[in-house]
Amino acid sequence: MTYQPPVREHAFILRDVLNIDQHGNLPGFADAPFETVEQILEAAAQFTGEVLAPLNHVGDKQGCVWNSDFTVKTPDGFKEAYKQLCEGGWTGLGSDPTYGGQGLPHVVNLAFSEMSSSANMAFSMYPGLAHGAYSAIHTGGTDAQKETYLPKMISGEWTGTMNLTEPHCGTDLGLLRTKAVPQGDGSYKITGQKIWISAGEHDMSDNIVHLVLARIEGAPAGVKGISLFIVPKFFPKEDGSVGARNEGVKCVGLEEKMGIHGNATCVMQYDDAVGYLIGEENSGLKLMFVMMNEARLGVGLQGIAQAEAAYQAAAAFAKDRLQGRSLTGPKNPDGPADPILVHPDVRRMLLQSKALIEGGRAFLFWTALHGDLAHSHPDEAVRTKAEDYMGLMTPVLKGYLTDKGFQVCSDAMQVHGGSGFTEHFPASQYLRDVRIALIYEGTNGVQALDLVGRKLASKGGRGVMTFFQEIDQFIGENDGDAELKPFIDALAGVKAQLQDGTMWLMQNGLQNPDNAGAASTDYMHLFGLTGLAYMWALMVKAANAKIAAGSTDPFFTTKIVTAKFFIERILPDAGAHLAKLKTGSATLMALPAEAF
């Protein structure tokens, strides 16, 4: 079974649930009425399904190869596929038209990114990292830096990286040691080692633009003394071509990993590499967070993308594999056994996966649309709300959706039985590949802390209050809708639980910060469940409208059954999360280190 891009699912969310055409007066959306978007989705499905998906297994088997001349060879076919990616204009879909991008809404770009990541996660990380670097330069670069780098990064001729991690410094960036020495001509000499740098070296683009966090000599200790630098692999020439090699930056090795073998995870050595400050001195982290926030949404997307591909493989296997008989009598009487899809427990795994994927995808697209509104809506109140949502939802989407993505990939392996544990089926690769998404871009534990420690309280809790109000308003507006009632009631219930958990955190987290830390992951999951309950209510409303208008398409009835499964068999977890988070930190912190 090869991955089939879910164009219909994307179209349903963009047209029927989010109704993107209502934003047709905004820049980007004006060029993308739904008919155009649908054509883009079809073309994206063709490219990702036919070009990227067949390379997924190749990339896993071959991996990347480091050479002693500090070059890296990507798996067979990656280079050619990357050329097609650039020629198709996919690298500039959502980028600024001033520098050659197509300026389409971020939410449309997200649909492409999901397909690309499902088809081949390791490959899609090369343009993904480049887009993050593009965004940081776009936000913080000087005009000259933007003119030099952005057009090449949009066209895909040059890619980009983000260099934060050092051997002794992962989560705690305040420990960062890489140093930057001013040369008096506006440039700096950068020295230090960065590890686990995704796409740090490869053979697919003419140049690699490294964005590197370093400490300028004499800067304050901790996170307040960190600056961001552009360190190009080759120096750009005036005419836009690449010039001399920046000799001080080299990939000195690759990491052996459990997954994403097709993506080069590099040890980068900087020895007096020439770099250029981007943004203000000592405010590098702020700018890096532009990249990180975008990247965190992208990582949440990877959770859903791998889950989708794994679910498709599991569903196909479940229809094919014959074992046992249905508890209610044979369903395949002429065969030696029934397909395993007849067994309620196999269905439980598949429906759970389906409900999490479709709800999670809607939550991602809904948030990405707010990203577009934050960027271009003329009404300041809409922009403010959208910005608040982006801040609040980003850690939830990263943490919750990757936790659930992993669960779905694990269930997909379970549906395959022993075959899933072998390398003859793709389930193993999906499970191995998705696992990193729970770790990088800030571990999921750190996302949960960001949510309870920063995002909740930000601007006096304005974001979360607005979210509660929006849900209340939706419930009020749809109160009399009998068809929607079970979904509205479920939403009202989980929203009350989230409010309860939020109140508990306000009262107990401030008084003892360990209470906030102890509650954080359960709170993040409670938040994720509330987001999905809202999305399922929106999706059922859209499906009901189609059915009321005369549609007999099983797509819509399937949505309603999946939503019922969500409220019957997934949403009850909210109660457990609330109960757990309210137990506080006392027991967790009771044991001395020797007891572990």
Q: Which is nearer to ligand FAD, 182 or 445 (CB)?
A: 445
Q: Which is nearer to ligand FAD, 194 or 577 (CB)?
A: 194
Minimum separation from the CB atom of position 238 to ligand FAD (A): 30
Minimum separation from the CB atom of position 345 to ligand FAD (A): 32
Catalytic residue status for 594: no
Give the span between the Cα atoms of 45 and 50, in whole angstroms: 8
Q: Which is nearer to ligand FAD, 417 or 453 (CB)?
A: 453
Q: Which is nearer to ligand FAD, 411 or 433 (CB)?
A: 433
Q: Which is nearer to ligand FAD, 164 or 491 (CB)?
A: 164
Q: Which is nearer to ligand FAD, 132 or 463 (CB)?
A: 132
Match 């260099």 to its residue by tokens.
163
Give the span between the Cα atoms of 513 and 527, in whole angstroms: 20
Minimum separation from the CB atom of position 298 to ligand FAD (A): 12
Give the span between the Cα atoms of 481 and 541, in whole angstroms: 9
Match 């599991």 to its residue by tokens.
314
Minimum separation from the CB atom of position 252 to ligand FAD (A): 16
Minimum separation from the CB atom of position 520 to ligand FAD (A): 8
Minimum separation from the CB atom of position 398 to ligand FAD (A): 12
Contact in structure between 72 and 63 (CB atoms under 8 Å): no
Name the token pair of 105.
């809404």
Closest CA to 165 of 138, 140, 192, 191: 192
Give the span between the Cα atoms of 146 and 152, in whole angstroms: 10
Give the span between the Cα atoms of 556 and 541, in whole angstroms: 10
Half-sphere exposure at residue 188, Cβ-oriented, CA atoms within 13 angstroms: 26
Question: Which residues lie near ligand FAD (CB under 6 A)?
Answer: 162-165, 170-171, 196-198, 257, 265, 436, 439-443, 445-446, 449
Residues forming beta bridges with residue 250, ordered by sequence position = 269
Task: Give buried/exposed letters for 280-290 (b at 16+ CB in 10 A, else e).
Answer: eebebbebbeb
**Greatest Cα-to-Cα distance within the chain, rounded to the nearest angstrom:** 83
Residue number with the shortest CB distance to ligand FAD? 170
Give the span between the Cα atoms of 428 and 416, in whole angstroms: 10
Closest CA to 229 of 217, 212, 208: 212
Quick one: the chain helix, strand, coil %, rounded to 5? 60, 10, 25
Start-to-end CA distance of the chain, whole Å, equals 45
Q: Which of 9, 166, 201, 441 is catalytic?
A: 441
Minimum separation from the CB atom of position 312 to ligand FAD (A): 24
Question: Mind telling me the catalytic residues?
Answer: 441
